């Protein structure tokens, strides 16, 4: 059991620092968002494209989150996966926004 304590402590630290949220955001992005945001299907802003994301970023995170949760234009609500939680969707949005800062 003593050998597991450092591992458990490291896992707890990782969760508390938000590193797992970034990983989860990337996972959600890969599962629900990448299919449109990598190639730019239906005018979806491409991942990491600061010019395409610029006007969207100016609207603020909450406006963007509302668009993702409800859908906008060709983008279906929650990227087409209604089983995603609002928190999962927010984590994916944060992952995408971090790429254009």
pLDDT digits (tens, 9 = 90+) for 50-89: 999 999 999 999 999 999 999 999 999 999 999 999 999 9
Confidence of residue 21 (pLDDT cuts 50, 70, 90): low
Question: Which distant-in-sequence residues (6+ apart) come within 8 Å of 22 by Cβ?
Answer: 91, 94, 95, 98
Please check whether residue 43 is in contact with residue 74, taking contact to mean a CB–CB distance below 8 angstroms: yes
* Domain count across the chain: 1
Q: Specify if 14 maps to a domain.
A: no
Q: Specify if 63 maps to a domain.
A: yes
Q: Average pLDDT, stretch 4-20?
A: 42
- Bigger pLDDT: 19 or 47? 47
pLDDT at 20: 61
pLDDT at 23: 74
Q: List residues bridging with 49 in a β-sheet.
A: none
| Residue 55 belongs to domain with CATH number | 1.10.760.10
d(CA 47, CA 37): 6
Give this prediction's pTM.
Answer: 0.78
Mean pLDDT, the chain, as a whole number? 85
Give the closest residue to 18 by CA, choosing from 101, 99, 90, 100. Answer: 90
Q: Specify if 90 maps to a domain.
A: yes
Domain around 35: 19-98
Q: Specify if 5 maps to a domain.
A: no
d(CA 27, CA 42): 22
């Amino acid at each position: 059991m003593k050998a597991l304590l450092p591992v458990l402590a490291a896992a707890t630290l990782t969760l508390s620092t938000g590193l797992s949220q970034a990983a989860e955001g990337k996972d959600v992005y890969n599962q629900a968002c990448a299919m449109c945001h990598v190639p730019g299907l239906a005018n979806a802003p491409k991942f990491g494209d600061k010019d395409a994301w610029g006007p969207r970023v100016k609207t603020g995170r909450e406006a963007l989150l509302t668009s993702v949760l409800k859908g906008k234009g060709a983008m279906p609500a929650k990227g087409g996966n209604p089983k995603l939680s609002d928190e999962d969707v927010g984590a994916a949005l944060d992952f995408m926004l971090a790429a254009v800062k």
